[in-house]
Chains A and B, each alone.
Chain A
Amino acid sequence: MSLLQVEGLTKTFAGLTAVDSVDIAVADRVFLGIIGPNGAGKTTLFSLLAGSQPPTAGRVVFDDVDITGWSAQKVARAGLVRTFQLMRPFESMSVLENVTIASLAQRSRKDARRHALGVLERVQLAQYAGTSSGSLPTAGLKRLELARALAMEPRMILLDEVLAGLVPAERAPMIELLRELHGDGLTVMFVEHIMAAVMALSERLVVMHDGRVLTQGVPAEVIAEPQVVEAYLGEDY
């Protein structure tokens, strides 16, 4: 049984089809990677799944509930939470307060603060708890994005390029953290350009191109397919 079932999901903007009848099924506790050249529709797909934008057509079923067209707020409360590629901290607040906002969804104010600090420890950000979120470096902001999403206690998390902008030395610990979270039972869908990370983490891989799913399956097999190579060579190299 899949935790997330996407059927024929489509989004058009003024005649331009950004996401074109996408079908993806994500089983519970799977780590699924999505790759594709720039403009393939990966971020738009995330927006549709997370309710940031309504789809033009298609269906999204999460945990046996049809969540198509739900608002972002409802989707998040249902246990499907996204992060943003461009980090979006609440800048007037401290790091701890940022995470507490998310924790509040499930618990009282006092408990939320404690819970949030626990989440910060989990992502190794606790030493910055009292710092203003606006002054965090990129690596910190990426972890803050992750911490906020985790504080919602999601069943599934959508990660939009959490490694982008990190220097190579910062990537390994982040990859390790994601591996641990997944090991704890979190279902993950992640969009990423850094292939080493994709290959290290993904159990399944989806390749998108021009808004469509080009192919999907076991990572090692998928990236060997000639059409995948061609899509990438055609665009980026």
Chain B
Amino acid sequence: MTSTTTQGEGPTRFVRVGRHPTTVVSVTVVLLLAAVFAVGGKDNGLVTQSIVTGLLLGGVYALVSIGLTLIFGVLGVVNFAQGSMLTMSMYVVYALVSGPGLPVYLATLLAIPVMFAFGMFVQHFLLNRLTSTGSHEGPLLVTLGLQLLIANVLLMIFSGRPKSVGTPFDGSFEMLGAIASYSRVIAFAGAVLVGIALTLVLRRTSLGLSIRAVAANAQGAALVGVNVRRVYALTFGIGAASVAVAGGLMTPFTSLTPSVGEQFTILAFVIVVLGGLGSVLGATIGGLVIGLVQTVGALYLPGTGSLILVFAVFVMVLFLRPQGLYGAK
């Protein structure tokens, strides 16, 4: 318990740093990128390309992470199946494209209610009893089981052979001196739109108000007439739906395998911890930062190496600011 004494001064120190996290993060990122340009020893065009790719990628990461952070903020559950739900939505889109032959973006729209219903189902039938007892480990284990279940059921249905889905908007264009494919730009734009829409829902609607009330204090919310169970189920549904959007938008430039989403669980955790568990804004910024770390890092550590950097960031955040950039203590 010696740490208690050190903790005494700890938070105040961090609060000062964290008072304007957006500024701090932006300045750090810009400085680091400037350093890469100036002394990184890489071709400038290449760096620009990685930055653009990183930001585009980061937008999608952000969307997956928003789902995760929302579920955590409201239910207190870390959804280990988030990555598998992403895979699942990709296969739903794939099935709609390869079966009835729908265009991929229409299929994405249809995948949203499917995943929303799936999310509500999971919360209502699998997690509800455990979340109401306040156990941490139970829900974590259930979602772990769910992750395995989804990945392996997909494996049984679709086999492990990689699948791909075409896009009506093939090709790419030049942007800020870098090449960006249409499908990636659409994915980014879609992610941003959904992110904004979600924020508006949370801030402006009565549903959003109930969700925020339950997140702040479930018992209190119940006392003033909020149906907590319903809010829980809806939140999980929304979390799953945002993953459906991300999954659908990513299908055109992703090679589908039943384990493709797995790394996103990890990435989304890192992003959510970076942004502070429960913070939507934090998840967005965190997503962009991690996207950049990954693509710019890949210039120096090719292959899986750039993921090491992502984890390095994660470990740093965990130990320097365990409440995340935007998390309240």
Identify 13 new A-B residue pairs, CB closer than 8 A, beyond the known A54-B4, A71-B5.
A51-B1, A51-B4, A52-B4, A53-B4, A54-B5, A54-B8, A69-B5, A71-B1, A71-B2, A71-B4, A72-B1, A72-B4, A73-B1
Q: How many residues of B are in contact with the other chain, CB < 8 A?
A: 5
Q: A70 to chain B: closest CB distance in Å?
A: 8
Binary per-residue interface labels of chain B (1-22) against chain A in the complex, 1 for a CB within 8 Å, 0 otherwise: 1101100100000000000000
Residues of chain A within 8 A of B8, CB atoms compared: 54
Among A32-89, those with CB < 8 Å from B are 51-54, 69, 71-73
Q: B85 to chain A: closest CB distance in Å?
A: 35
Residues of chain A within 8 A of B5, CB atoms compared: 54, 69, 71
Residues of chain A within 8 A of B1, CB atoms compared: 51, 71-73
Contact residues of A with B, CB < 8 Å? 51-54, 69, 71-73
The complex places the Cα of A52 from the Cα of B8 at a distance, in Å, of: 12
Chain B binding surface SS class: helix
Among B221-280, those with CB < 8 Å from A are none
The complex places the Cα of A51 from the Cα of B2 at a distance, in Å, of: 10
The complex places the Cα of A73 from the Cα of B5 at a distance, in Å, of: 13
Residues of chain B within 8 A of A54, CB atoms compared: 4-5, 8
Closest to B11 in A: A14
The complex places the Cα of A72 from the Cα of B1 at a distance, in Å, of: 7
Residues of chain B within 8 A of A72, CB atoms compared: 1, 4
Q: A82 to chain B: closest CB distance in Å?
A: 13
Residues of chain A within 8 A of B4, CB atoms compared: 51-54, 71-72
Residues of chain B within 8 A of A71, CB atoms compared: 1-2, 4-5
Among B1-47, those with CB < 8 Å from A are 1-2, 4-5, 8
The complex places the Cα of A175 from the Cα of B321 at a distance, in Å, of: 48
Q: B15 to chain A: closest CB distance in Å?
A: 10
Q: B76 to chain A: closest CB distance in Å?
A: 21
Q: B167 to chain A: closest CB distance in Å?
A: 52
The complex places the Cα of A52 from the Cα of B7 at a distance, in Å, of: 12
Closest to B9 in A: A54
The complex places the Cα of A71 from the Cα of B8 at a distance, in Å, of: 12
The complex places the Cα of A69 from the Cα of B1 at a distance, in Å, of: 11
Q: B273 to chain A: closest CB distance in Å?
A: 24
